[in-house]
């Protein structure tokens, strides 16, 4: 699970990061521009977004993000308690809203609710694609009650693909999501893992749901023909 915190107050950002560690793998952006750039990679499960920031503010970031058709759930943060802010926040597509300062537990509850609502799987720890069943907790997979042996990164790839079925994911997105931004390995590992995953899924005829789009990326498609 990946969380992006866009917040110019470094101290608060770090506090959130610590509060949520264990639940999320966190990335921090300290201004709107960087935040937007990261968010547009579409590799996060939730975004915490401060409104008052120098330069590009939270509303602008969110507006941009939504108009790029990125639907990652967003929790807006603000110091003000005015109702106007809330209205404006929701109008541009915020999913939830928190007034600073807030309690640890409130944050955790809202995060949990957020992810769950987004079809996500927090307490729900299974994910399905046709007859393929992923257990998120144990990072294991099975097809028709038969266990499928997947190693760590293969599993990660499959989970990411299922979470984004029917949309093309670029090699860069996949790489950033699974290997992380600062990893210095080459993005060709993605090809290797795509190949590995297909190979292990072939046995069940699930390999040809993984389509490659030359020059664009990969997609897990619900129809296996072509």
User: Side by side, which strands form the sheet with 140-143?
Assistant: 126-129, 132-135, 140-143, 146-148
The phi, psi pair for 66, rounded to 5°, reads -65, -35
Bridge partners (DSSP) of residue 78 are 99
Q: Which of the choices DNA, a second copy, none does residue 11 contact, using the CB cut-off of 5 to 8 A by kind? A: none
Q: Does 125 bind a second copy (CB under 8 A)?
A: yes
> Token pair 């997947």 is at which residue?
150
Helix (H, G, I), strand (E, B) or coil at 83: helix
- Ramachandran angles phi, psi of 127, nearest 5°: -135, 140
Of the two residues 77 and 201, which places its CB atom closer to DNA in the complex? 201
Nearest by Cα to 71 from 163, 183, 196: 163
Q: How far is the CB of 64 from a second copy (least distance, A)?
A: 8
Site of interaction with DNA (CB under 7 A): 151-154, 171, 179, 183-186, 188-189, 191-196, 198-199, 212-217
Report residue 31 as tokens: 């201004």
Can residue 55 be called a binding residue for a second copy (CB under 8 A)?
yes
Does 21 bind a second copy (CB under 8 A)? Our answer is: no
How many other CB atoms sit within 10 Å of the CB of residue 202?
Answer: 11
Of 55 and 224, which CB lies nearer to a second copy in the complex structure?
Answer: 55
119 in contact with a second copy (CB under 8 A): no
CB of 87 to DNA, least distance (A): 43
Q: Considering the rule CB under 8 A, would residue 215 count as an interface residue with a second copy?
A: yes
Nearer to a second copy, 54 or 83 (CB): 54
Instruction: Name the packing angle between helices 171-178 and 152-163 (round to 10°).
Output: 120
Exactly one of 67, 185, 188, 195 binds a second copy (CB under 8 A); which one?
67
- Please report whether residue 103 would count as binding a second copy according to CB under 8 A: yes
Q: What is the size of the binding site for a second copy (CB under 8 A)?
A: 26
Residue 68's binding partner, choosing from a second copy, DNA, none, with beta-carbon cut-off 5 to 8 A by kind?
a second copy
119, 152, 184, 222: which one contacts a second copy (CB under 8 A)? 152
* Beta strand ranges found along the chain (DSSP E): 2-6, 25-29, 46-50, 74-78, 96-99, 126-129, 132-135, 140-143, 146-148, 210-213, 217-220
Residues that bind a second copy (CB under 8 A): 22, 33, 37, 55-56, 60, 67-69, 103-105, 109, 122-123, 125, 137-139, 151-152, 168, 213-216
């Amino acid at each position: 699970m990946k969380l992006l915190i866009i917040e110019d107050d470094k101290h608060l950002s770090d506090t959130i990061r610590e509060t949520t560690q264990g639940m999320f793998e966190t990335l921090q952006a300290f201004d709107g521009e960087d935040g937007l750039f990261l968010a547009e990679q579409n590799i996060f499960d939730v975004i915490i977004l401060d409104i008052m920031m120098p330069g590009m503010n939270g509303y602008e970031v969110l507006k941009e993000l939504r108009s790029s058709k990125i639907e990652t759930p967003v929790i807006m943060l603000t110091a003000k308690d005015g109702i106007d802010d809330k209205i404006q926040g929701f109008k541009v597509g915020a999913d939830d809203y928190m007034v600073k300062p807030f309690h640890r537990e409130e944050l955790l509850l809202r995060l949990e609710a957020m992810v769950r609502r987004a079809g996500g799987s927090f307490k729900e720890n299974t994910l399905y694609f046709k007859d393929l069943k992923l257990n998120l907790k144990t990072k294991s997979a099975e097809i028709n009650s038969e266990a499928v042996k997947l190693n760590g990164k293969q599993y990660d790839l499959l989970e990411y693909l299922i979470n984004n079925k029917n949309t093309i994911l670029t090699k860069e997105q996949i790489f950033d999501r699974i290997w992380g931004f600062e990893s210095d390995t080459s993005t060709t590992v993605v090809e290797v893992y795509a190949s590995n995953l297909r190979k292990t899924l072939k046995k069940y005829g699930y390999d040809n749901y993984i389509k490659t789009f030359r020059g664009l990326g990969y997609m897990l498609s619900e129809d296996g023909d072509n």
